Structure 1
């Protein structure tokens, strides 16, 4: 969490960014934290992303059904999304293993949305989501020079709510969505973090 220029300078010393030649790397950096790395996706990451998107628990937290498409169809979709220049997608690596995905998207009005998932259930509740979100926020606000990062989560996803609150996001409203997962209506909570 940043509380001013001194904290930002300390974070910049801790976070090292590097250029990398990957799918859309000419404008995407590696983001290094204390225990994880955010890097651009490569084709070898498709099977990991596919397994995460088939996880019923992860899907339910987002009000979605686990994907049912074949791996080859999903591969085409992932690679197309990862090449989309209007989205910045990162693979979260823990101990040199792909462990989740983080995305910045919907760049508008001086800001963007963020999304994150930690794939393996054994890595959840270890602070990796908080560290990844902190890296994304720093990148969006101080490298991309955006004014605001927005996020949302469903009301039953207390883990993500705690991540937002811990990192200084402010709740700015809520809405209702109809879940494609179970055809039920859920409350979606919206958050913002301003520079």
Structure 2
């Protein structure tokens, strides 16, 4: 497989980059809360540039299994699976850079679509992720989608002079299918 397939959800479309994505990325100002949730330094925030927007879109295009997230006809973020074929597992990452669409359930929808692809199409055994402990919104989303907290890395990330903790979460194929059967 050369690239991730297009996946259509109820509200979002997961797809490959298109020309207007650079423009859509540039239209949304850098957001302090987003930088913090990504583990960035809010004291060193700078305005977006055309070069940075092009790099963002190119980073999605260059990955084997990555998507642009389209909502209401515009780019709002990205999602990816980094597959380890030897162990039949993947690391999941998602980011919605547009704060105007936060708290609408889009992260949950996106995560469910990616998990469906991971377990039903790729037939993976496990999908895992790591998230900063203070990113409560993301943790709630992942738990709603069936991820289970399995450990922490205590104070492993130095962010703005303070050591922060990462939470490790995962979902196994059997847990995904059990959850799916309960919904039906």
Q: TM-score, normalised by structure 1?
A: 0.75
Matched, 1:54 2:33: no
SS of aligned partner of 1:29: coil
Q: Please name the residue that 1:142 is paired with.
A: 120
Matched, 1:172 2:147: no
- Preserved contact between residue 172 and residue 190 of structure 1 (Cα < 8 Å): yes
Q: Please name the residue that 2:171 is paired with.
A: 193
Q: Please name the residue that 2:176 is paired with.
A: none
SS of aligned partner of 1:164: helix
Matched, 1:110 2:88: yes
Could you tell me which runs of 5 or more consecutive residues in structure 2 were left unpaired when the two chains were aligned: 174-184
- How far, CA to CA, are the matches of 2:131 and 2:76 in structure 1? 20
1:106 Cα deviation after fit: 5.2
- Preserved contact between residue 103 and residue 116 of structure 1 (Cα < 8 Å): yes
- How far, CA to CA, are the matches of 1:62 and 1:27 in structure 2? 25
Q: Please name the residue that 2:103 is paired with.
A: 125
- How far, CA to CA, are the matches of 1:155 and 1:165 in structure 2? 13
Q: TM-score, normalised by structure 2?
A: 0.79
- In structure 2, the CA distance between the partners of 1:184 and 1:164, relative to structure 1 (3 Å rule), is same
CA deviations on 1:107-159 (whole Å, 9 max, x unpaired) are 35211111112222221111000000000111111112211111121111111
Runs (4 or more) in structure 1 with deviation over 6 Å come to none
Number of aligned residue pairs = 169
- In structure 2, the CA distance between the partners of 1:82 and 1:122, relative to structure 1 (3 Å rule), is closer
Could you tell me which runs of 5 or more consecutive residues in structure 1 were left unpaired when the two chains were aligned: 1-24
- Preserved contact between residue 47 and residue 71 of structure 1 (Cα < 8 Å): no
